[in-house]
Amino acid sequence: MYVLTAHRRRASLAAIHIDISFDISFEYYLGGGDVARRSEGMTRKGIIGLLFGAVAVVVAIVWSLMQGGAEEDKVVTTEVEARIVSLHATVASSGTIQPKHRADLAFSSSGTVSDVFVQVGDVVVAGTPLAAIGTSELQAELDSAATQLSAAHADYSAASSAGDEARIAAARSTLQTRQNAYDNAQKALDAATIKAPFDGTVALVQVAPGDKIGGGSSGYSGFDVSSLGSVSGIDVSSILGGVSGSGTSSGGSGVTALTMISTNRFIVEASVGPADIGKLSKGQSVTIKPEGSGYLLAGEVIEVGVIANSASGAAAFPLIVEIAGEQVLYAGTGAQLEIVYETHSAVVGIPSGAISVNASHETVVYVKTATGSREQVVTTGLTESGITEIVSGLLADDIVLVTTTYGAVQANPWDQYMPSIDSGRNTARSTPTPGGENR
């Protein structure tokens, strides 16, 4: 019988302990004048064969363990050069893509809806008629106001001719009142038709012919960048948030009749925490990755709020980013943001794996020399995508050593790290690609 036990312990060098024990027993019996051989277990030849077999097994196991340990525990030192790079400090955030412009339009005159000229999804240009109410009553009111205004002019002329100052003053007051009435009647007639305030897409229609309108006012306050003001006061609900009702319901005073949004021009509504708000300002560049997409878009910070919203339990400061150029996107889609708040251009950089801390707690690298290497104390700056800025202690083209103690690494760490630096910003789109690839 034999027992083979192998123990492998991982350390700086693999330690292998092998115990082999054989329990072999046999007896020889001699009796009478004849030789009587009796074997208990196996013959002498069998024992020798067994010994050779056990040794072969042991050698195979030892070789396997030593090879495995060598592969896993090997130390790889790579020589890499310091390079001139541009590094960025960024703040990450996420938000929701929304149209750049939105207008909630309502009739400002009372009446009955006579025509709806568009439907949801129609793309229109500024000034296009969208819906109208009947004008017969409004025209009658204008005609009546015109008649009264003409009479007031006649009275004023007569009073002026008579030279009676009291009569002139009274006639002048009446004339002003009649003029105001005429102007309002003319505005009401003009407002009988809602027109597109900008080039865009019809996002919502809430009126139909026959609806009674009480009169109200249109709101062009959505996401018009030129009139954003303080972001803390912006309603950052979804693009149709707060607008309810069916397309055939009767309109009342101030009820939105139609909603328009800009076509292919978008912003991202986002937020940042207290730790990052002080780093951000208008004009900073942003890389945007729409949810579920495989591409990046360029953008710019256009508003930074100064009043936090704590509705979710944690303070969050509102942030609005404008996406550059015209894009084919969908309102309400999520997006990841990378906002650049600091850039160090033309600085010396090395792979971060070359940096370590010595026994004196100094930040050091090991610089290649003619006879080997020397320890060099360095001062570090920004780190981005595995590359660290060296503020002092190294020059471009100095050769430093990067040492790893596990697995295989690329021959030059720059091949691994460098492509990620600036790749997103350099390829971010400011204009759509043909065929609507941005979808």
Residue 268, domain CATH? 2.40.30.170
Inside any domain, residue 434 = no
Domain count, the chain: 5
Alpha helices in 163-217 (DSSP H): 165-190
How far apart CA 178 and CA 149 sit, in angstroms, is 5
123 to 128, 198, 300: CA distances (angstroms): 10, 11, 26
User: Is 432 part of any domain?
Assistant: no
Same domain assignment for residues 66 and 152: no
Q: Is the dihedral of CA 357, 360, 362, 364 positive or negative?
A: negative
pLDDT for 250 equals: 34
SS3 278: coil
- Asked if the structure places residue 175 within a domain, the reply is yes
pLDDT of 46 reads: 61
Q: What angle do CA 47, 49, 55 make, to 5 degrees?
A: 105
Cα gap 243→327, rounded to integer Å: 25
pTM (whole model) above 0.95: no
Measured CA distances, 321 to 97, 337, 356 (Å): 9, 9, 39
pLDDT score for 255: 80
Residue 240 lies in domain: 102-125+200-263
326 assigned to some structural domain: yes
Same-domain pairing of 207 and 258? yes
pLDDT for position 269: 95
If asked whether residues 404 and 394 sit together in one domain, one would say yes
My answer on whether 335 and 353 are in the same domain is: no
Helix segments in 3-132, DSSP class H: 44-73
What integer pLDDT is reported at residue 195 of this predicted model? 92
Question: Are residue 168 and residue 296 in the same domain, yes or no?
Answer: no
CA distance 246 to 239: 17
Q: Quick check: is 438 in a domain?
A: no
349, 384: one domain: yes
Question: In 82-213, at which residue ranges do the beta strands (DSSP E only) sit?
Answer: 83-99, 102-105, 111-116, 123-124, 129-133, 193-195, 200-205, 212-213
Domain assignment present for 296: yes
At 386 the pLDDT is 87
Two tokens, residue 262: 């800009």
Please say which residue of 288, 310, 342 terminates a domain: 342
* 254 shares its domain with 283: no
Domain containing residue 384: CATH number: 2.40.420.20
Residues 81, 63, single domain; the answer is no
Same domain? For 417 and 349 the reply is: yes
Low-confidence ranges of the chain (pLDDT < 70): 1-74, 215-254, 405-439
Residue with tokens 């004849």: 34
Amino acid identity of 12?
Answer: S
For residue 304, is it within any domain? yes
Count of alpha carbons within 13 Å of 400, Cβ hemisphere only?
Answer: 28
For residue 77, the cross-strand partners are 403
**What confidence score (pLDDT) does residue 397 get?**
92
Q: Is the same domain home to 40 and 159?
A: no
In the listed set 342, 360, 387, which residue is the last one of a domain according to the structure? 342
CA separation for the pair 417, 351 (Å, rounded):
7
Three-state DSSP at 258 gives: strand
Single out the residue of 18, 21, 17 nearest to residue 1, CA to CA.
Answer: 21
Residues 141 and 152 in one domain: yes
Judge if 179 and 143 occupy the same domain: yes
- Classify residue 431: in a domain, yes or no: no
